[in-house]
Amino acid sequence: MALAFQSSPSRTGMWPLLIPIVAGGLIMGLALGIRHVQGLFLLPVTMDRGWSREDFALAMAVQNLTWGLVQPFTGMLADKFGSGKVIATGLIAYALGLFLMVHATSVPAFVVSAGILIGVASSGTAFGAIYGALSRILPPDRLSWGLGLAGAVGGLGQFAMVPAAQALISSWQWTGALLLLAVAMIALLPLAVPLRDRASAKESNTGSGSLSAAISEAFGHKGFWLLNFGFLACGFQLAFIANHLPAYLLDRGLSASDGVAALAIIALSNIAGTYLLGVWGGSLRRKNMLAVLYLVRSAAMTLFVLLPLTTYGTYLFAAVMGFLWLGTVPLTNGLVSQVFGVRYIATLFGFVFFGHQVGSFLGVWLGGYLFEETGSYNAIWSIAIGVGVVSALAHWPIDDRTIARAPAGAVGT
């Protein structure tokens, strides 16, 4: 199905839309930025506590899985009561999780704080909540632009978090760094106000159907499951790289600064990639863009692993991966909105995002487990490449046509 070209909005009428877009981008930037730099905390935390990399990876894996499990239910709350309350609660929960991480002296306590609590908090501060709110606040003809811009602002936050986290760890150790980040989360609470949407304001093409009917409709759609399965690869690849790339580079002879620089380049490239891919999703078929994106990711990882490891080669790999990093999210969110409408977008995207987080759990945990078992990351790189190819194949047959429904109140004959 051909999509009409969607341009950036004119300057008139743009400024009121920028307020929720920027607010959502800043919240998402800090929430995702902290997750993006978790690899920088791996060695300081494990060395200080005497834990293994697998112990740390387990907490991060539980965080990703918890996020995925909770996201549909967080979406239901946002769809019913509005996104502003959910986002504010998520910010408070995130700050509490960071605070408790500092005081976790055992692996189970670390899993509860860094894994379960921050996993729940992420469901209210990242993609599902922010993009769900913007999908209802923004006009349909400006949605791709708005999601892309919010993602770019979030990417800028992720980029800034890399040198900020490194500086905080150097000056305040990892414990002080986490406490200061908790304070930053609380400071963002006022930004939840512009994201107060009205859950019932837009019925879109869902008529007057109930939430249960919308879920049943989506679960009966083959493309919904293909999208869910394909999104698994995104979570697998990103969680593995974000959590294990700095340690991988150190193991292969590069410096700690190379790992920091690689994460920074990923975040910097992500700013342009998320914005451009989000905007292009308004004029190109999103499912085809996603298929190509996953193929390019797998090709980049293959070359990175097979070619001799160098500093500049690492930076080039980080730039390519960064451009493709979170562009999957506005494309996937837009595809769900395109097919099913926006009335229950937070809930439906939450179910799709569950597949992403299953992949994240497997990527971060298997990275630590296979390293401890084999002494290298070779096996996990191979798996990451393979799931990317499978994901690309899963997107091609998705039926991306908007579901036709009878208007609300229509009586059949």
pLDDT of residue 406: 56
Given a contact cutoff of 8 angstroms between Cβ atoms, the answer to whether 231 and 363 are in contact is no
What are the two backbone dihedrals, phi and then psi, of residue 208, each rounded to the nearest 5 degrees?
-110, 25
Given a contact cutoff of 8 angstroms between Cβ atoms, the answer to whether 256 and 413 are in contact is no
For residues 192 and 285, give the distance between their C-alpha atoms in angstroms, rounded to a whole number.
32
Going from N- to C-terminal start, the domains of the chain cover 21-196+210-395
Given a contact cutoff of 8 angstroms between Cβ atoms, the answer to whether 345 and 72 are in contact is no
For residues 56 and 43, give the distance between their C-alpha atoms in angstroms, rounded to a whole number.
9
Sign of CA dihedral 282, 285, 291, 297: negative
- Which amino acid would we find at residue 124? G
For the domain with range 21-196+210-395, which CATH number is right: 3.40.50.2300, 3.30.870.10, 2.40.10.10, 1.20.1250.20? 1.20.1250.20
For residues 220 and 226, give the distance between their C-alpha atoms in angstroms, rounded to a whole number.
12
pTM across the whole model: 0.77
For residues 310 and 133, give the distance between their C-alpha atoms in angstroms, rounded to a whole number.
42
| CA 81 centroid distance within chain | 23
Given a contact cutoff of 8 angstroms between Cβ atoms, the answer to whether 394 and 229 are in contact is yes
Query: Could you tell me which of 146, 110, 118 has the C-alpha nearest to residue 131?
Result: 146
| CA 245 centroid distance within chain | 18
pLDDT of residue 1: 36
Residue 376 in 3-state DSSP?
coil
Residue 303 burial (CB count, 10 A): 13
pLDDT of residue 201: 43
Contacts from 42-47 at CB under 8 Å and sequence distance 24+?
A: 42/243, 42/244, 42/246, 42/247, 43/246, 43/247, 43/250, 44/169, 44/173, 44/174, 45/110, 45/174
Given a contact cutoff of 8 angstroms between Cβ atoms, the answer to whether 60 and 235 are in contact is no
pLDDT of residue 207: 42
For residues 386 and 306, give the distance between their C-alpha atoms in angstroms, rounded to a whole number.
15
Given a contact cutoff of 8 angstroms between Cβ atoms, the answer to whether 68 and 121 are in contact is no
pLDDT of residue 407: 55
- Residue 107 burial class via C-beta count within 10 angstroms: exposed 0-12, middle 13-18, buried 19 and up: middle
- Which amino acid would we find at residue 374? T
CA angle (132 as vertex; 395, 284 as ends), nearest 5:
40
pLDDT (tens place) for every residue of the chain, 413 residues total: 333 334 445 544 677 889 999 999 999 999 989 987 888 898 899 999 999 988 998 898 899 889 989 999 998 998 888 889 999 999 999 999 999 999 999 999 999 999 999 999 999 999 889 988 998 888 888 888 888 899 889 888 888 888 899 899 999 999 999 999 999 999 999 999 999 876 544 444 444 468 888 899 999 999 999 998 889 999 999 989 988 998 899 999 999 889 889 988 998 898 899 889 988 988 899 999 999 999 999 999 999 999 999 999 999 999 999 999 988 988 998 899 889 988 888 889 889 988 888 888 899 889 988 998 999 999 999 999 999 999 999 999 999 888 876 555 554 43
